Structure 1
Amino acid sequence: MSTLLTDIAAAEEGTSLWKDAWLRLRKNRLAIVGLCVLLVCIVLALLTPLIAPYAYDAQDLDLGATPPSAEHWLGTDIFGRDMLTQILYGGRISLAVGFIATAVALLIGITWGAIAGYAGGRVDAVMMRLVDILYALPFMIFIILLMVVFGRNLLLLFLAIGAVEWLTMARIMRGQVQSLRQQEFVEAAISLGLSPGTIIRRHLIPNALGPIIVYTTLTIPSVMLLEAFLSFLGLGVQPPQTSWGLLISYGAETMEEYPWLLIFPGLALTVTLFSLNFLGDGLRDALDVRGSKD
Protein backbone atom coordinates (compact mmCIF):
# COMPACT_ATOMS: atom_id res chain seq x y z
CA MET A 1 0.00 0.00 0.00
CA SER A 2 2.81 2.41 0.93
CA THR A 3 4.56 1.67 -2.36
CA LEU A 4 1.39 2.45 -4.29
CA LEU A 5 0.97 5.73 -2.43
CA THR A 6 4.60 6.63 -3.19
CA ASP A 7 4.09 5.94 -6.90
CA ILE A 8 0.90 8.01 -6.94
CA ALA A 9 2.67 10.90 -5.17
CA ALA A 10 5.55 10.76 -7.65
CA ALA A 11 3.12 10.76 -10.57
CA GLU A 12 1.23 13.74 -9.14
CA GLU A 13 4.48 15.62 -8.54
CA GLY A 14 5.36 15.29 -12.22
CA THR A 15 8.58 16.53 -13.71
CA SER A 16 9.86 19.51 -15.64
CA LEU A 17 11.16 19.89 -19.18
CA TRP A 18 14.67 20.64 -17.89
CA LYS A 19 14.70 17.65 -15.53
CA ASP A 20 13.58 15.36 -18.35
CA ALA A 21 16.20 16.87 -20.65
CA TRP A 22 18.93 16.30 -18.07
CA LEU A 23 17.87 12.67 -17.62
CA ARG A 24 18.01 12.14 -21.37
CA LEU A 25 21.32 13.97 -21.66
CA ARG A 26 22.88 11.75 -18.99
CA LYS A 27 22.17 8.72 -21.16
CA ASN A 28 24.21 10.21 -24.01
CA ARG A 29 27.77 9.22 -23.15
CA LEU A 30 29.39 11.33 -25.85
CA ALA A 31 27.53 14.42 -24.68
CA ILE A 32 28.55 13.86 -21.05
CA VAL A 33 32.17 13.30 -22.09
CA GLY A 34 31.99 16.51 -24.13
CA LEU A 35 30.56 18.39 -21.15
CA CYS A 36 33.29 17.10 -18.83
CA VAL A 37 36.07 17.96 -21.29
CA LEU A 38 34.62 21.44 -21.79
CA LEU A 39 34.45 22.03 -18.03
CA VAL A 40 38.06 20.88 -17.67
CA CYS A 41 39.13 23.29 -20.44
CA ILE A 42 37.31 26.17 -18.75
CA VAL A 43 38.84 25.38 -15.35
CA LEU A 44 42.33 25.14 -16.87
CA ALA A 45 41.81 28.46 -18.65
CA LEU A 46 40.71 30.17 -15.44
CA LEU A 47 43.58 28.71 -13.41
CA THR A 48 46.28 29.11 -16.07
CA PRO A 49 48.30 31.79 -14.18
CA LEU A 50 48.43 29.43 -11.19
CA ILE A 51 49.16 26.12 -12.92
CA ALA A 52 51.30 27.15 -15.90
CA PRO A 53 54.76 25.60 -15.39
CA TYR A 54 56.58 28.68 -16.71
CA ALA A 55 55.96 32.38 -17.11
CA TYR A 56 54.11 33.32 -20.26
CA ASP A 57 56.93 35.50 -21.60
CA ALA A 58 59.80 33.26 -20.43
CA GLN A 59 62.23 32.56 -23.29
CA ASP A 60 65.44 30.58 -23.64
CA LEU A 61 66.95 31.37 -27.03
CA ASP A 62 69.90 29.11 -26.34
CA LEU A 63 67.54 26.18 -25.79
CA GLY A 64 65.48 26.79 -28.94
CA ALA A 65 62.97 24.22 -30.16
CA THR A 66 63.24 20.95 -28.28
CA PRO A 67 60.94 17.90 -28.35
CA PRO A 68 58.86 16.84 -25.33
CA SER A 69 60.93 15.98 -22.28
CA ALA A 70 60.63 15.65 -18.51
CA GLU A 71 61.37 19.36 -18.10
CA HIS A 72 59.08 20.53 -20.91
CA TRP A 73 56.23 18.02 -21.27
CA LEU A 74 55.09 19.33 -24.68
CA GLY A 75 58.48 20.61 -25.81
CA THR A 76 59.52 24.17 -26.57
CA ASP A 77 59.16 26.44 -29.59
CA ILE A 78 61.90 28.12 -31.63
CA PHE A 79 62.21 30.84 -28.98
CA GLY A 80 62.65 28.35 -26.18
CA ARG A 81 59.17 28.98 -24.75
CA ASP A 82 57.41 26.12 -23.01
CA MET A 83 54.65 24.80 -25.28
CA LEU A 84 52.40 23.65 -22.43
CA THR A 85 52.41 27.19 -21.05
CA GLN A 86 51.72 28.62 -24.52
CA ILE A 87 48.81 26.22 -25.07
CA LEU A 88 47.27 27.01 -21.68
CA TYR A 89 47.43 30.76 -22.30
CA GLY A 90 46.31 30.29 -25.90
CA GLY A 91 43.30 28.35 -24.66
CA ARG A 92 42.24 31.32 -22.56
CA ILE A 93 42.11 33.54 -25.63
CA SER A 94 40.46 30.95 -27.88
CA LEU A 95 37.76 30.14 -25.32
CA ALA A 96 37.24 33.84 -24.58
CA VAL A 97 36.76 34.55 -28.29
CA GLY A 98 34.37 31.62 -28.57
CA PHE A 99 32.20 32.58 -25.60
CA ILE A 100 32.25 36.37 -25.91
CA ALA A 101 31.75 36.50 -29.67
CA THR A 102 28.92 33.97 -29.34
CA ALA A 103 27.36 36.12 -26.61
CA VAL A 104 27.47 39.12 -28.96
CA ALA A 105 25.89 37.04 -31.73
CA LEU A 106 23.17 35.78 -29.39
CA LEU A 107 22.38 39.26 -28.09
CA ILE A 108 21.90 40.64 -31.60
CA GLY A 109 20.21 37.56 -33.04
CA ILE A 110 17.75 36.99 -30.19
CA THR A 111 16.74 40.65 -30.07
CA TRP A 112 16.36 40.94 -33.85
CA GLY A 113 14.49 37.67 -34.30
CA ALA A 114 12.17 38.21 -31.32
CA ILE A 115 11.14 41.67 -32.50
CA ALA A 116 10.59 40.50 -36.08
CA GLY A 117 8.61 37.43 -35.02
CA TYR A 118 6.41 39.32 -32.56
CA ALA A 119 5.76 42.36 -34.74
CA GLY A 120 4.95 40.42 -37.90
CA GLY A 121 3.62 42.10 -41.02
CA ARG A 122 5.75 44.71 -42.75
CA VAL A 123 8.18 45.03 -39.85
CA ASP A 124 8.93 41.32 -40.02
CA ALA A 125 9.26 41.42 -43.81
CA VAL A 126 11.71 44.33 -43.81
CA MET A 127 13.83 42.96 -40.96
CA MET A 128 14.11 39.46 -42.41
CA ARG A 129 14.82 40.73 -45.94
CA LEU A 130 17.75 42.60 -44.44
CA VAL A 131 18.91 39.32 -42.90
CA ASP A 132 18.64 37.66 -46.32
CA ILE A 133 20.75 40.43 -47.88
CA LEU A 134 23.41 40.11 -45.19
CA TYR A 135 23.48 36.35 -45.73
CA ALA A 136 24.52 36.97 -49.33
CA LEU A 137 27.55 39.06 -48.35
CA PRO A 138 31.02 37.46 -48.16
CA PHE A 139 31.47 37.73 -44.41
CA MET A 140 35.07 36.59 -44.37
CA ILE A 141 35.97 39.57 -46.56
CA PHE A 142 33.87 41.80 -44.27
CA ILE A 143 35.81 40.65 -41.18
CA ILE A 144 39.13 41.05 -42.95
CA LEU A 145 38.21 44.61 -43.99
CA LEU A 146 37.24 45.45 -40.41
CA MET A 147 40.54 44.16 -39.09
CA VAL A 148 42.53 46.03 -41.73
CA VAL A 149 40.68 49.36 -41.46
CA PHE A 150 40.21 49.58 -37.66
CA GLY A 151 43.32 47.72 -36.56
CA ARG A 152 43.84 44.24 -35.23
CA ASN A 153 42.92 44.10 -31.56
CA LEU A 154 41.17 41.55 -29.43
CA LEU A 155 38.04 43.60 -28.67
CA LEU A 156 37.42 44.27 -32.35
CA LEU A 157 37.89 40.57 -33.05
CA PHE A 158 35.13 39.74 -30.54
CA LEU A 159 32.76 42.30 -32.07
CA ALA A 160 33.59 41.49 -35.69
CA ILE A 161 33.01 37.75 -35.34
CA GLY A 162 29.90 38.23 -33.21
CA ALA A 163 28.49 40.72 -35.71
CA VAL A 164 28.53 38.16 -38.52
CA GLU A 165 27.34 35.11 -36.58
CA TRP A 166 23.93 36.37 -35.46
CA LEU A 167 21.92 35.80 -38.62
CA THR A 168 21.04 32.14 -38.06
CA MET A 169 20.04 32.86 -34.45
CA ALA A 170 17.74 35.63 -35.69
CA ARG A 171 15.94 33.18 -37.97
CA ILE A 172 15.67 30.54 -35.26
CA MET A 173 14.33 33.05 -32.73
CA ARG A 174 11.83 34.47 -35.22
CA GLY A 175 10.41 31.02 -35.89
CA GLN A 176 10.15 30.23 -32.17
CA VAL A 177 8.40 33.52 -31.40
CA GLN A 178 5.95 33.07 -34.25
CA SER A 179 4.99 29.62 -32.94
CA LEU A 180 4.69 30.84 -29.34
CA ARG A 181 2.84 34.05 -30.14
CA GLN A 182 -0.47 32.24 -30.59
CA GLN A 183 -0.21 30.41 -27.28
CA GLU A 184 -2.70 31.13 -24.53
CA PHE A 185 -0.16 32.46 -22.03
CA VAL A 186 0.87 35.15 -24.53
CA GLU A 187 -2.75 36.12 -25.17
CA ALA A 188 -3.27 36.31 -21.41
CA ALA A 189 -0.25 38.61 -21.06
CA ILE A 190 -1.61 40.85 -23.82
CA SER A 191 -5.02 40.98 -22.14
CA LEU A 192 -3.34 42.08 -18.91
CA GLY A 193 -1.91 45.08 -20.75
CA LEU A 194 1.74 44.09 -20.69
CA SER A 195 3.95 45.92 -23.18
CA PRO A 196 5.42 44.05 -26.17
CA GLY A 197 8.91 44.42 -24.71
CA THR A 198 7.81 42.85 -21.43
CA ILE A 199 6.05 39.99 -23.21
CA ILE A 200 9.10 39.28 -25.33
CA ARG A 201 11.51 39.48 -22.38
CA ARG A 202 9.47 37.63 -19.75
CA HIS A 203 7.44 35.13 -21.73
CA LEU A 204 8.68 34.51 -25.25
CA ILE A 205 12.47 34.38 -24.85
CA PRO A 206 12.40 32.13 -21.72
CA ASN A 207 10.15 29.65 -23.54
CA ALA A 208 12.58 29.54 -26.48
CA LEU A 209 15.65 28.75 -24.37
CA GLY A 210 15.93 25.18 -25.65
CA PRO A 211 16.88 26.04 -29.25
CA ILE A 212 18.96 28.97 -28.00
CA ILE A 213 21.07 26.72 -25.77
CA VAL A 214 21.56 24.16 -28.52
CA TYR A 215 22.55 26.82 -31.04
CA THR A 216 24.97 28.33 -28.53
CA THR A 217 26.86 25.07 -28.09
CA LEU A 218 27.10 24.71 -31.86
CA THR A 219 28.11 28.33 -32.47
CA ILE A 220 31.01 28.43 -30.01
CA PRO A 221 33.09 25.85 -31.98
CA SER A 222 32.24 27.65 -35.22
CA VAL A 223 33.49 30.93 -33.76
CA MET A 224 36.64 29.32 -32.36
CA LEU A 225 37.36 27.78 -35.75
CA LEU A 226 36.85 31.14 -37.43
CA GLU A 227 39.25 32.78 -34.98
CA ALA A 228 41.79 30.05 -35.62
CA PHE A 229 41.49 30.61 -39.36
CA LEU A 230 41.91 34.39 -38.99
CA SER A 231 44.92 33.90 -36.72
CA PHE A 232 46.34 31.44 -39.22
CA LEU A 233 46.10 34.21 -41.83
CA GLY A 234 47.72 36.69 -39.45
CA LEU A 235 44.49 38.69 -39.00
CA GLY A 236 43.39 37.41 -35.62
CA VAL A 237 45.15 37.48 -32.25
CA GLN A 238 48.46 39.31 -32.41
CA PRO A 239 51.64 38.78 -30.37
CA PRO A 240 52.47 39.02 -27.52
CA GLN A 241 49.03 37.46 -27.01
CA THR A 242 48.52 34.00 -28.40
CA SER A 243 45.72 31.61 -29.25
CA TRP A 244 45.45 28.06 -30.50
CA GLY A 245 44.99 29.36 -34.03
CA LEU A 246 48.14 31.46 -33.81
CA LEU A 247 50.12 28.52 -32.37
CA ILE A 248 48.86 26.31 -35.20
CA SER A 249 49.96 28.96 -37.70
CA TYR A 250 53.47 29.00 -36.24
CA GLY A 251 53.54 25.21 -36.07
CA ALA A 252 52.51 24.87 -39.71
CA GLU A 253 55.53 26.92 -40.79
CA THR A 254 57.96 24.51 -39.09
CA MET A 255 55.99 21.26 -39.10
CA GLU A 256 58.65 19.33 -41.02
CA GLU A 257 61.42 20.16 -38.54
CA TYR A 258 59.42 20.51 -35.32
CA PRO A 259 56.12 18.60 -35.71
CA TRP A 260 55.19 18.91 -32.02
CA LEU A 261 54.67 22.65 -32.51
CA LEU A 262 51.69 21.82 -34.75
CA ILE A 263 50.47 18.57 -33.21
CA PHE A 264 49.83 19.70 -29.62
CA PRO A 265 47.94 22.99 -30.25
CA GLY A 266 46.07 21.22 -33.05
CA LEU A 267 45.02 18.47 -30.65
CA ALA A 268 43.90 21.02 -28.05
CA LEU A 269 41.69 22.82 -30.58
CA THR A 270 40.37 19.58 -32.07
CA VAL A 271 39.43 18.01 -28.73
CA THR A 272 37.64 21.19 -27.62
CA LEU A 273 35.70 21.51 -30.89
CA PHE A 274 34.65 17.87 -30.82
CA SER A 275 33.54 18.22 -27.18
CA LEU A 276 31.37 21.22 -28.00
CA ASN A 277 29.84 19.48 -30.99
CA PHE A 278 29.10 16.31 -29.00
CA LEU A 279 27.51 18.42 -26.26
CA GLY A 280 25.47 20.38 -28.80
CA ASP A 281 24.20 17.21 -30.47
CA GLY A 282 23.33 15.75 -27.08
CA LEU A 283 21.44 18.86 -26.00
CA ARG A 284 19.55 18.92 -29.30
CA ASP A 285 18.37 15.35 -28.75
CA ALA A 286 17.67 15.89 -25.05
CA LEU A 287 15.55 18.99 -25.61
CA ASP A 288 13.65 17.48 -28.52
CA VAL A 289 10.63 16.14 -26.67
CA ARG A 290 8.99 14.77 -29.81
CA GLY A 291 12.08 12.73 -30.68
CA SER A 292 12.56 11.38 -27.14
CA LYS A 293 10.32 8.49 -26.25
CA ASP A 294 11.50 7.17 -22.91
Structure 2
Amino acid sequence: MKTLVLEYGVEQGRSLTQDALARLCKNKVAMLSLFILLFMILIAILTPWIAPYSYEEQNLLLGASPPSAEHWLGTDVLGRDQLTRIMYGSQVSLMVGFIATAVALTIGVLWGATAGFLGGRVDAVMMRIVDVLYALPFTIFIILLTVIFGSSMLLLFLAIGAVEWLTMARIVRGQVLNIKRQEFVEAAVAMGLSPWQIISRHLIPNVLGPIIVYTTLTIPSVILLESFLSFLGLGIQPPASSWGSLISGGVETMEEYPWLILFPGLVLTITLFSLNFLGDGLRDALDPRTSKD
Protein backbone atom coordinates (compact mmCIF):
# COMPACT_ATOMS: atom_id res chain seq x y z
CA MET A 1 0.00 0.00 0.00
CA LYS A 2 2.86 2.36 0.86
CA THR A 3 4.41 1.55 -2.50
CA LEU A 4 1.22 2.51 -4.24
CA VAL A 5 1.03 5.75 -2.32
CA LEU A 6 4.56 6.59 -3.25
CA GLU A 7 3.99 5.54 -6.82
CA TYR A 8 0.77 7.46 -7.37
CA GLY A 9 1.19 10.21 -4.79
CA VAL A 10 4.20 11.85 -6.39
CA GLU A 11 3.17 15.08 -8.04
CA GLN A 12 4.50 15.57 -11.53
CA GLY A 13 7.00 18.45 -11.69
CA ARG A 14 6.61 21.57 -13.83
CA SER A 15 9.15 23.55 -15.77
CA LEU A 16 10.08 27.08 -14.72
CA THR A 17 8.10 28.46 -17.66
CA GLN A 18 4.99 26.52 -16.71
CA ASP A 19 5.38 27.63 -13.11
CA ALA A 20 5.68 31.29 -14.17
CA LEU A 21 2.62 31.03 -16.44
CA ALA A 22 0.64 29.46 -13.62
CA ARG A 23 1.53 32.33 -11.27
CA LEU A 24 0.70 34.87 -13.96
CA CYS A 25 -2.71 33.30 -14.59
CA LYS A 26 -3.51 33.59 -10.88
CA ASN A 27 -2.88 37.34 -11.01
CA LYS A 28 -6.33 38.64 -11.94
CA VAL A 29 -5.20 42.24 -12.44
CA ALA A 30 -2.40 41.22 -14.80
CA MET A 31 -4.68 38.93 -16.80
CA LEU A 32 -7.34 41.63 -17.10
CA SER A 33 -4.65 44.04 -18.28
CA LEU A 34 -3.48 41.48 -20.83
CA PHE A 35 -7.02 41.06 -22.23
CA ILE A 36 -7.43 44.84 -22.44
CA LEU A 37 -4.16 45.18 -24.37
CA LEU A 38 -5.05 42.35 -26.73
CA PHE A 39 -8.41 44.02 -27.33
CA MET A 40 -6.66 47.35 -28.09
CA ILE A 41 -4.28 45.64 -30.51
CA LEU A 42 -7.15 43.82 -32.22
CA ILE A 43 -9.07 47.09 -32.64
CA ALA A 44 -5.97 48.77 -34.09
CA ILE A 45 -5.49 45.95 -36.61
CA LEU A 46 -9.15 45.88 -37.68
CA THR A 47 -9.67 49.66 -37.72
CA PRO A 48 -9.67 50.07 -41.54
CA TRP A 49 -12.55 47.58 -41.75
CA ILE A 50 -14.61 48.41 -38.65
CA ALA A 51 -14.19 52.18 -38.31
CA PRO A 52 -17.57 53.86 -38.86
CA TYR A 53 -16.11 56.71 -40.94
CA SER A 54 -12.91 57.75 -42.70
CA TYR A 55 -10.48 59.60 -40.46
CA GLU A 56 -10.34 62.41 -43.07
CA GLU A 57 -14.11 62.71 -43.53
CA GLN A 58 -15.33 66.14 -42.45
CA ASN A 59 -18.73 67.70 -41.90
CA LEU A 60 -18.18 71.41 -41.29
CA LEU A 61 -21.91 71.99 -40.93
CA LEU A 62 -21.97 69.53 -38.03
CA GLY A 63 -18.91 70.97 -36.29
CA ALA A 64 -18.07 69.89 -32.76
CA SER A 65 -21.08 67.95 -31.50
CA PRO A 66 -21.42 65.92 -28.28
CA PRO A 67 -21.80 62.11 -28.26
CA SER A 68 -24.92 60.91 -30.02
CA ALA A 69 -26.40 57.78 -31.58
CA GLU A 70 -24.72 58.64 -34.90
CA HIS A 71 -21.37 59.65 -33.41
CA TRP A 72 -20.85 57.67 -30.22
CA LEU A 73 -17.93 59.79 -28.96
CA GLY A 74 -18.96 63.02 -30.65
CA THR A 75 -17.15 64.96 -33.38
CA ASP A 76 -14.30 67.48 -33.40
CA VAL A 77 -14.40 71.11 -34.55
CA LEU A 78 -14.10 69.99 -38.19
CA GLY A 79 -16.98 67.56 -37.88
CA ARG A 80 -14.77 64.44 -37.91
CA ASP A 81 -15.97 61.40 -35.99
CA GLN A 82 -14.02 61.18 -32.73
CA LEU A 83 -14.36 57.41 -32.34
CA THR A 84 -12.87 56.87 -35.79
CA ARG A 85 -9.94 59.17 -35.07
CA ILE A 86 -9.24 57.46 -31.74
CA MET A 87 -9.27 54.08 -33.46
CA TYR A 88 -6.85 55.25 -36.14
CA GLY A 89 -4.81 56.97 -33.44
CA SER A 90 -4.42 53.62 -31.68
CA GLN A 91 -2.59 52.32 -34.75
CA VAL A 92 -0.01 55.09 -34.53
CA SER A 93 0.42 55.13 -30.76
CA LEU A 94 0.68 51.35 -30.37
CA MET A 95 2.95 51.07 -33.41
CA VAL A 96 5.27 53.71 -32.01
CA GLY A 97 5.23 51.95 -28.65
CA PHE A 98 6.05 48.49 -29.95
CA ILE A 99 8.45 49.37 -32.80
CA ALA A 100 10.42 51.99 -30.85
CA THR A 101 10.63 49.57 -27.92
CA ALA A 102 11.88 46.84 -30.28
CA VAL A 103 14.63 49.19 -31.49
CA ALA A 104 15.57 50.06 -27.89
CA LEU A 105 15.42 46.38 -26.92
CA THR A 106 17.76 45.29 -29.72
CA ILE A 107 20.37 47.96 -29.03
CA GLY A 108 20.19 47.73 -25.25
CA VAL A 109 20.36 43.93 -25.01
CA LEU A 110 23.28 43.57 -27.42
CA TRP A 111 25.18 46.50 -25.88
CA GLY A 112 24.67 45.39 -22.28
CA ALA A 113 25.40 41.70 -22.93
CA THR A 114 28.58 42.50 -24.86
CA ALA A 115 29.86 44.89 -22.20
CA GLY A 116 29.07 42.50 -19.35
CA PHE A 117 30.61 39.44 -20.99
CA LEU A 118 33.81 41.01 -22.35
CA GLY A 119 34.46 43.07 -19.23
CA GLY A 120 37.69 44.95 -18.63
CA ARG A 121 38.44 48.01 -20.71
CA VAL A 122 35.75 47.19 -23.24
CA ASP A 123 33.13 47.20 -20.49
CA ALA A 124 34.52 50.43 -19.02
CA VAL A 125 34.48 52.27 -22.37
CA MET A 126 31.02 51.03 -23.37
CA MET A 127 29.43 51.93 -20.05
CA ARG A 128 31.10 55.35 -19.96
CA ILE A 129 29.43 56.01 -23.31
CA VAL A 130 26.13 55.07 -21.68
CA ASP A 131 26.86 57.44 -18.78
CA VAL A 132 27.59 60.31 -21.17
CA LEU A 133 24.41 59.68 -23.15
CA TYR A 134 22.43 59.58 -19.89
CA ALA A 135 23.54 63.14 -19.22
CA LEU A 136 22.04 64.45 -22.46
CA PRO A 137 18.51 65.96 -22.49
CA PHE A 138 16.92 63.35 -24.73
CA THR A 139 13.59 65.07 -25.18
CA ILE A 140 15.42 68.07 -26.62
CA PHE A 141 17.51 65.68 -28.75
CA ILE A 142 14.38 64.11 -30.26
CA ILE A 143 12.86 67.54 -30.83
CA LEU A 144 15.99 68.64 -32.70
CA LEU A 145 15.88 65.50 -34.87
CA THR A 146 12.25 66.05 -35.79
CA VAL A 147 12.90 69.73 -36.55
CA ILE A 148 15.95 69.01 -38.74
CA PHE A 149 14.76 65.91 -40.59
CA GLY A 150 11.00 66.44 -40.50
CA SER A 151 8.20 64.71 -38.62
CA SER A 152 8.09 61.39 -40.42
CA MET A 153 6.73 58.35 -38.65
CA LEU A 154 9.87 56.29 -39.38
CA LEU A 155 12.12 58.97 -37.89
CA LEU A 156 9.90 59.07 -34.83
CA PHE A 157 10.29 55.30 -34.35
CA LEU A 158 14.07 55.42 -34.72
CA ALA A 159 14.59 58.58 -32.67
CA ILE A 160 12.59 57.37 -29.67
CA GLY A 161 14.07 53.86 -29.86
CA ALA A 162 17.60 55.26 -30.08
CA VAL A 163 17.27 57.07 -26.74
CA GLU A 164 15.34 54.47 -24.74
CA TRP A 165 17.95 51.69 -24.77
CA LEU A 166 20.28 52.97 -22.03
CA THR A 167 18.47 51.53 -19.00
CA MET A 168 18.00 48.23 -20.81
CA ALA A 169 21.76 48.08 -21.45
CA ARG A 170 22.50 48.58 -17.75
CA ILE A 171 19.96 45.96 -16.67
CA VAL A 172 21.29 43.33 -19.10
CA ARG A 173 24.92 44.09 -18.19
CA GLY A 174 24.19 43.58 -14.50
CA GLN A 175 22.45 40.26 -15.17
CA VAL A 176 25.27 39.05 -17.43
CA LEU A 177 27.89 39.91 -14.80
CA ASN A 178 26.01 37.66 -12.37
CA ILE A 179 25.89 34.60 -14.61
CA LYS A 180 29.00 34.77 -16.81
CA ARG A 181 31.11 32.92 -14.19
CA GLN A 182 28.68 30.04 -13.90
CA GLU A 183 29.64 26.57 -15.04
CA PHE A 184 27.60 26.44 -18.24
CA VAL A 185 29.27 29.64 -19.52
CA GLU A 186 32.75 28.37 -18.62
CA ALA A 187 31.93 25.10 -20.39
CA ALA A 188 30.94 27.03 -23.52
CA VAL A 189 34.23 28.93 -23.39
CA ALA A 190 36.15 25.67 -22.95
CA MET A 191 34.38 24.24 -26.01
CA GLY A 192 35.81 27.10 -28.09
CA LEU A 193 32.59 28.95 -28.83
CA SER A 194 33.02 32.52 -30.04
CA PRO A 195 31.95 35.42 -27.79
CA TRP A 196 28.98 36.11 -30.08
CA GLN A 197 27.85 32.48 -29.87
CA ILE A 198 28.09 32.52 -26.07
CA ILE A 199 26.22 35.83 -25.83
CA SER A 200 23.42 34.83 -28.23
CA ARG A 201 22.99 31.18 -27.22
CA HIS A 202 23.70 31.18 -23.50
CA LEU A 203 23.70 34.63 -21.90
CA ILE A 204 20.75 36.42 -23.52
CA PRO A 205 18.32 33.46 -23.13
CA ASN A 206 19.16 33.34 -19.41
CA VAL A 207 18.31 37.01 -18.82
CA LEU A 208 14.99 36.98 -20.69
CA GLY A 209 12.99 37.41 -17.47
CA PRO A 210 14.23 40.92 -16.62
CA ILE A 211 14.20 41.82 -20.31
CA ILE A 212 10.53 40.89 -20.70
CA VAL A 213 9.53 42.75 -17.56
CA TYR A 214 11.40 45.92 -18.49
CA THR A 215 10.01 45.77 -22.03
CA THR A 216 6.44 45.95 -20.72
CA LEU A 217 7.46 49.00 -18.70
CA THR A 218 9.26 50.65 -21.63
CA ILE A 219 6.28 50.52 -23.99
CA PRO A 220 4.12 52.88 -21.89
CA SER A 221 7.00 55.36 -21.47
CA VAL A 222 7.51 55.35 -25.26
CA ILE A 223 3.79 55.89 -25.91
CA LEU A 224 3.81 58.70 -23.37
CA LEU A 225 6.85 60.30 -25.01
CA GLU A 226 5.19 60.16 -28.43
CA SER A 227 2.06 61.68 -26.93
CA PHE A 228 4.16 64.47 -25.44
CA LEU A 229 5.83 65.18 -28.80
CA SER A 230 2.45 65.17 -30.54
CA PHE A 231 1.15 67.49 -27.84
CA LEU A 232 3.96 69.89 -28.78
CA GLY A 233 3.12 69.53 -32.48
CA LEU A 234 6.32 67.59 -33.26
CA GLY A 235 4.83 64.13 -33.59
CA ILE A 236 2.29 62.79 -36.06
CA GLN A 237 1.08 65.50 -38.41
CA PRO A 238 -2.54 66.07 -39.57
CA PRO A 239 -4.69 64.62 -40.98
CA ALA A 240 -3.21 61.52 -39.34
CA SER A 241 -3.77 61.28 -35.61
CA SER A 242 -2.38 59.67 -32.50
CA TRP A 243 -3.72 59.73 -28.98
CA GLY A 244 -1.27 62.50 -28.15
CA SER A 245 -2.30 64.70 -31.06
CA LEU A 246 -5.98 64.19 -30.20
CA ILE A 247 -5.33 65.22 -26.61
CA SER A 248 -3.39 68.23 -27.86
CA GLY A 249 -6.33 69.30 -30.01
CA GLY A 250 -8.74 68.70 -27.15
CA VAL A 251 -6.79 70.91 -24.75
CA GLU A 252 -7.42 73.96 -26.92
CA THR A 253 -11.20 73.55 -26.66
CA MET A 254 -11.60 71.57 -23.43
CA GLU A 255 -13.83 74.17 -21.78
CA GLU A 256 -16.29 74.26 -24.67
CA TYR A 257 -16.02 70.66 -25.90
CA PRO A 258 -14.71 68.51 -23.01
CA TRP A 259 -15.36 65.22 -24.84
CA LEU A 260 -12.51 66.02 -27.27
CA ILE A 261 -9.94 65.54 -24.51
CA LEU A 262 -11.88 63.19 -22.22
CA PHE A 263 -12.15 60.16 -24.50
CA PRO A 264 -8.61 60.04 -26.01
CA GLY A 265 -7.19 60.80 -22.55
CA LEU A 266 -9.22 57.96 -21.06
CA VAL A 267 -8.07 55.48 -23.72
CA LEU A 268 -4.43 56.49 -23.24
CA THR A 269 -4.73 56.20 -19.46
CA ILE A 270 -6.30 52.73 -19.61
CA THR A 271 -3.57 51.53 -21.98
CA LEU A 272 -0.74 52.87 -19.83
CA PHE A 273 -2.22 51.39 -16.64
CA SER A 274 -2.71 48.02 -18.36
CA LEU A 275 0.89 47.91 -19.53
CA ASN A 276 2.19 48.78 -16.08
CA PHE A 277 -0.04 46.24 -14.32
CA LEU A 278 0.99 43.56 -16.81
CA GLY A 279 4.64 44.43 -16.21
CA ASP A 280 4.15 44.08 -12.46
CA GLY A 281 2.42 40.74 -12.98
CA LEU A 282 5.22 39.44 -15.18
CA ARG A 283 7.81 40.59 -12.65
CA ASP A 284 6.07 38.63 -9.90
CA ALA A 285 5.52 35.58 -12.10
CA LEU A 286 9.13 35.39 -13.29
CA ASP A 287 10.57 35.86 -9.79
CA PRO A 288 10.88 32.41 -8.16
CA ARG A 289 10.87 34.03 -4.70
CA THR A 290 7.17 34.81 -5.16
CA SER A 291 6.33 31.11 -5.21
CA LYS A 292 4.39 29.99 -2.15
CA ASP A 293 5.42 26.40 -2.44
Shorter-chain TM-score tier: over 0.9
Residue of structure 1 in register with 2:276 after alignment: 277
Q: SS at the partner of 2:269?
A: helix
Residue 237 of structure 1 aligns to a residue in which SS?
A: coil
Deviation by residue 1:137-184 (Cα, 9 ceiling, x = unmatched): 111111111111111111000011001100000000101111110111
Q: Distance in 1 between matches of 2:30 and 2:6?
A: 35
- Matched pairs, number: 291
Task: Provide the residue aligned with 2:248 in structure 1.
Answer: 249
User: Partners in 2 of 1:222 and 1:228 — Cα distance?
Assistant: 10
- Listed as ranges, the gaps of 5+ residues in structure 2 are none
What residue in structure 1 maps to residue 9 of structure 2?
7
Q: Which residue of 2 aligns with 1:288?
A: 287
Q: Could you tell me how far apart the structure 1 residues matched to 2:243 and 2:39 are?
A: 16
Q: Distance in 2 between matches of 1:275 and 1:174?
A: 28
What does residue 121 of structure 2 align with? Answer: 122
Percent identical pairs in the alignment equals 71
Over 6 Å off, 4+ runs: none
In the alignment, structure 1 residue 102 sits paired with structure 2 residue 89: no
- One-letter identity of the residue aligned with 1:199: I
Gaps of 5+ in 1: none
- 2:162 match: 163
In structure 1, the partner of 2:191 is 192
Give the structure 1 partner of residue 140 of structure 2.
141
Residues 191-247 of structure 1: per-residue CA shift (max 9 Å, x gap): 111111011001110111000000000000000000000000001111121100000
Deviation at 1:3, TM superposition (A): 6.4
CA RMSD of aligned residues (A): 1.1
> Equivalents in 2 of 1:27, 1:7: separation in Å?
25
* Deviation of 1:109 (Å): 0.3
For residues 44 and 92 of structure 1, the distance between their equivalents in structure 2, rounded to whole angstroms, comes to 9
- Equivalent residue, structure 2, for 1:225: 224
Q: Distance in 1 between matches of 2:188 and 2:146?
A: 45
The normalised TM-score by structure 1 is 0.97
Aligned mates of 1:180, 1:143 — CA distance in 2? 35
The aligned counterpart of 2:214 is 215
| 1:65-123 Cα distance to aligned partner (Å, 9 max, x none) | 11000010000111111111000000010000000000000010001001000000000
Aligned to 1:31: 30
